[in-house]
């Protein structure tokens, strides 16, 4: 039986049926959250439910957001960017996260939520992970640039050797991208931030 449910039932102490059925748990949590929002939950009960061992989640949406942020941090650390292809998944086994789709959704208008303050806070959290998470230039350019910059960091003087077109990394032709980046006409098209 879920420990938060047991804590919820114990703290509320109102004869809640603690059979452990998922429906009963959900009712207990929803009622408790509703009482808190309405200001009807006794302070001593809230304090007990706030204890880490109780495991109470006051805002399930925030818990889901924190889980998403953890996956995004992990991906950024491994890949060096938050510009994944839309079909990119991240994780292992049953814990695969559709990281590419998440990022596409977050970049959409209203993708950070309808509440402006929450959206601003979430944007700041994403910026802390990767300042270019929502860059104004094409995401494939950002992804390729970060991949090539990561590879260059391991080279003498930071200069990449020739990488032939057709060399793929995570499904992207980095050889072709490198050739294009070395063309003067490509540099003329870049914004100041990209140069």
Element (H, E) at 168: strand 168-169
pLDDT tens-digit readout, 32-85: 666 666 677 778 777 776 666 666 666 666 778 888 999 999 999 999 999 999
Tell me which DSSP letter residue 87 carries. Answer: T
| pLDDT for position 56 | 64
pLDDT tens-digit readout, 173-194: 888 888 888 888 877 787 777 7
On average, the pLDDT of the chain sits at 79
| pLDDT for position 1 | 41
- Per-residue pLDDT at 26 exceeds 70: no
| pLDDT for position 182 | 81
Mean of the pLDDT values across residues 148-164? Answer: 87
- Mind giving me the DSSP string for 100-165? HHHHHHHHSTTTT-S-HHHHHHHHHHHHHH-TTTT-SS-HHHHHHHHHHHHHHHTSGGGPPPP--T
pLDDT over 70, % of the chain: 73
Give the C-alpha separation, 122 to 167, whole Å: 36
Query: Which of 17-21, 41-45, 103-107, 180-184 is predicted least confidently?
Result: 17-21
């Amino acid at each position: 039986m879920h420990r938060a449910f047991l804590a919820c039932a114990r703290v509320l102490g109102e004869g809640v049926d603690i059979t452990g059925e998922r429906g009963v748990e959900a009712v207990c949590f929803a009622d408790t959250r509703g009482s808190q929002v309405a200001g009807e939950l006794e302070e001593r009960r809230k304090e007990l439910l706030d204890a880490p061992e109780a495991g109470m989640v006051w805002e399930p949406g925030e818990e889901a957001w924190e889980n998403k942020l953890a996956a995004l941090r992990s991906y950024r650390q491994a890949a060096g960017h938050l510009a994944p292809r839309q079909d990119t998944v991240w994780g292992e086994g049953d814990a695969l996260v559709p990281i590419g789709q998440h990022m596409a959704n977050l970049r959409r208008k209203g993708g950070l939520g309808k509440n402006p303050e929450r959206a601003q806070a979430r944007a700041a959290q994403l910026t802390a992970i990767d300042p270019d998470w929502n860059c104004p230039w094409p995401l494939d350019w950002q992804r390729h640039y970060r991949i090539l910059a990561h590879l260059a960091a391991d080279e003498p003087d930071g200069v990449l050797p020739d990488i032939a077109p057709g060399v793929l990394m995570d499904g992207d032709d980095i050889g072709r991208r490198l050739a294009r980046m070395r063309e003067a006409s490509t540099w003329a098209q870049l914004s100041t931030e990209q140069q």
